[in-house]
Each structure stands twice: as structure tokens, then as C-alpha cells.
Amino acid sequence: MILTQDEKDMLNGKYGNIKAESIDYIIQLGEAFGAERLVDIVYCHYPAEMGIYKGNVEDAVEYASKGGKVSVPTTSSTLCCDLEKPAITGIPLSLAKLQMKIEDAHRSMGILETFTCTPQHLGFIPPFGSYTALVESSAIIYYNSVLGVRTNRGGLLTRYSAICGKYPLMGYLLDENRKGTHWFKVEIPEKRMDSSDAWSALGFYIGKIVGSEVPVIEGVTTQKQEHLLALGATLATAGSVTLFHLPGVTPEARTVNEAFHGKVPENYYHITEKDLDEVYSQLTNINRGEKIDFVTLGCPHYTLTQLQNVAEKLKNRSIADGVRFWICTNRMTRKQAEYSGIVERIEKSGAKVITDTCPVESHMRQSTCREYGLKVPNVEAMVCNSGKMLRYVKDLIGCRTALLNTDSCIESAIAGKLIK
């Protein structure tokens, strides 16, 4: 690998052992994938270091004690509990106390305690074409596809990019790897696509087909951030999509021809309402009118506007006995929502505004419940508007599920049974 003089100096310890170790790991990563050189990154979204993973928090605390400091703006991904209000989720106190140790570790390293899957909502939006190192699948695909920022799936080595400010020039940082590989033509009425759950279902259907490649999706369009978030989040989890192109919306794909870098394939996939209906059937095994005990919104984390919308729909209404209703967001958005009275209006109904975490990364995981002596499954029947959430719930929490639109989720929470 070709290194600059500054990179050689860093590797040789000029800037300390921590930076030398970090760039060494990044060089090894690049060499493993045939990268010719490193590039400077302008931003990093740091890996989740969660108490539900054995030794994860302890490792982070030990690493921070060595004196490492991040060298680029660095935000942090979600944890296993709401650090400010741990009791709100019912997490065992000992697990919450373990997770809380991460705050001092992150502060000492200069990592910002955002604890979210949507750092773009907090103003972390690098310039088009800039290089970054990110974790969290829904953030990665949003930055690549909607913002035109360049990143791969960072994984645990993102820690070392944050320290040295470098990443190998490879994967989706390269022009040639950002062209479309699969062509989808969507023929679904515009009215049907006017909800996040529909975009989530579309992402689920396409993700299963493309795996880790780059879909170009023609025939649908949107200017709503929540639709693009839902599409990307489910593409990234039903498959392992890191970049998609929506011609006329995403910045590198003003046309289908541009999305394919001038080489449009002859064949395409045709998607109809029937295909979308199949996704709802796959993700729903709760019958209409059947009792439910958990409703969640905010996967990916909700914006202030979305919280405001939920507050309006819950006005003068109450959540049914025996139903837990979580609306997940980041802590800065909750602070603003508290200031604006939105949280008070939501929680007056019995619903809870949760930060820093989400159900599948919480103590409700089957493995964690068994470790702490909690009921398994912790939830019997979950209703949600996110394909990403439901993609994980069956295996991680082990409950029955239903994919519904936002209004039906809220009505189900109030009724205590599936409403659609």
C-alpha cells in the first residue's frame, strides 16, 4: 500500500502508540481488500458498545483508559437502554449500570454521546462525495444513497478509523462500485406508497433479491425523508444493501442511465401491489382482532415532526392496559420534544418516548432475558410500521409480529388488539 509521509510517521509512532496501532489496523484492512492507498475521513459514526454483549462495555472502558482520542467528529450508535431514564424500559438495574459505564469512556475519547441510528437528524451531514467511516446499517445506506457521502459498512474497525482519521480507498468509496447492478420497475399506485410501511415493504422485497448489490428503483418517487429512511433501512436488513439509486431523488442518479453509469441492463424486475402484499403476509402472523401487548414506532429513530404527529393522534386517548407502546428517538430530539410539550402529551396516554435504544437492542432479547431471569419471550405479539424491526424481532425477541401503517399501530395500541 502506498502511504504518505504523514501516514508513515503515524505508523512509526510519531503521534503516539494509540494512533500507530489504529493506522496499522486500517492498513491491514486495506491490504486484505487490495486497496492502493488510504484517504482522510471527515466524520465517523462509532460502533455500539452494548451491555447485552459480554465484555463489550468492559473492552471499551479499557481501550479508553489507554488515552486514545478521536481525530474527526465522531457520533455514537445505539445502546441497550435509555441512559437518562433507564427505568422507563424496564431494564434490569445491574445491566443499566453496566451500560452507563460507556458514557465516561466515550467522553474521554471525544466521542459525542448521540446513541442513535440516525445521526443525520442531528446535523451530521458531510459534503457530497466526502469519505466517512460509519456503522449502523440504516445510517450507512442513507448517507450513501440520499446524501451521496461515501462509506462502507465499517464494523468494529471503525474505532480505529475514528482514532487515526483514515480509511482504505476501497468498496463504495470508489466510483466503479457505486453503479447500479439490478433494475426494478415499480408499478404500484401512488396512494399506496404514501406511508413509511409501504416503502419499508418495498425495501424488504427488493433486499431479498439483490443481497449486497446496488438496486436501481424506477417508477416510484418521494420527497419525504421518512420514506427514504424506511426504504433504506429495510433494504439494508432484508438484504445487506449499502447503496441504492432512486432516479430523480438520489444525488448520483438523476436518470436510470446515470445510475447504471451508461450501461443499462436489458432485463428488469417488475414489482406490483401483489408483491408488496406478500411482504406484509411474511411479516404478519397476528390475526385481526387478536390481542397484542407491544407496539413500537421509531425504527429508524423518529424525528421531532414524527413525534409531534404521534402526539396529535394520541390526544385525549389512552393506551390499553397490558400494552407497552414505545416511540424511539434520539436524546436531543426528546429534549426538544420535552421543551415543546410533545413528550408530555404522548406520555399522558400511557405511551413512552424512549431514547438511546430500540426493542431489538434492549434487554428484551431472548438471550438477555434468560441471562437476567426475565420472561421469554418478553413480548408475545408486537405491532410495528418498520420492516427493519420486524426482520429481527422473530429471531431476537421471539414474538409474533404484524407490519401495519402508523395509524393502525396507534389504534392497535389503544384497542389492545390488532386493528387494520
The domain limits of the chain are 5-175, 179-281, 284-415
Q: Tell me, what's the pLDDT at 124?
A: 97
Nearest Cα residue to 199 out of 225, 219, 228, 238: 228
Nearest Cα residue to 155 out of 140, 173, 170: 140
Q: Tell me, what's the pLDDT at 265?
A: 95
pLDDT one-digit tens code per residue, 195-245 = 999 999 999 999 999 999 999 999 999 999 999 999 999 999 999 999 999
* pTM of the entire predicted model: 0.96
Percent of the chain with pLDDT over 90: 99
Q: Where are the alpha helices (DSSP H) in 33-92?
A: 56-65
5-175 CATH: 3.30.499.10
User: 92: which residues sit within 8 A by CB, 6+ positions away?
Assistant: 363, 372, 374
Q: Where are the alpha helices (DSSP H) in 12-68?
A: 17-32, 56-65
* Mean pLDDT, the chain, integer: 97
**Assign residue 315 a region: left if phi > 0, alpha if psi is -120 to 50, beta otherwise?**
beta
Query: Average pLDDT for residues 258-266, to the nearest whole number?
Result: 96
Q: Tell me, what's the pLDDT at 107?
A: 97
CB 33 within 8 A of CB 168: yes
Per-residue pLDDT at 48 exceeds 90: no
Query: Average pLDDT for residues 279-296, to the nearest whole number?
Result: 97
Q: Tell me, what's the pLDDT at 210?
A: 98
Q: Tell me, what's the pLDDT at 420?
A: 87
**Assign residue 205 a region: left if phi > 0, alpha if psi is -120 to 50, beta otherwise?**
alpha
Question: Matching CATH topology for 5-175 and 284-415?
Answer: yes
CB 231 within 8 A of CB 199: yes
284-415 CATH: 3.30.499.10
Q: Which three cell numbers stand for residue 260?
A: 447504471
What radius of gyration, in Å, describes the C-alpha atoms of the chain?
Answer: 22
Q: Tell me, what's the pLDDT at 74?
A: 98
Number of Cα atoms under 13 Å in the Cβ half of residue 277: 4
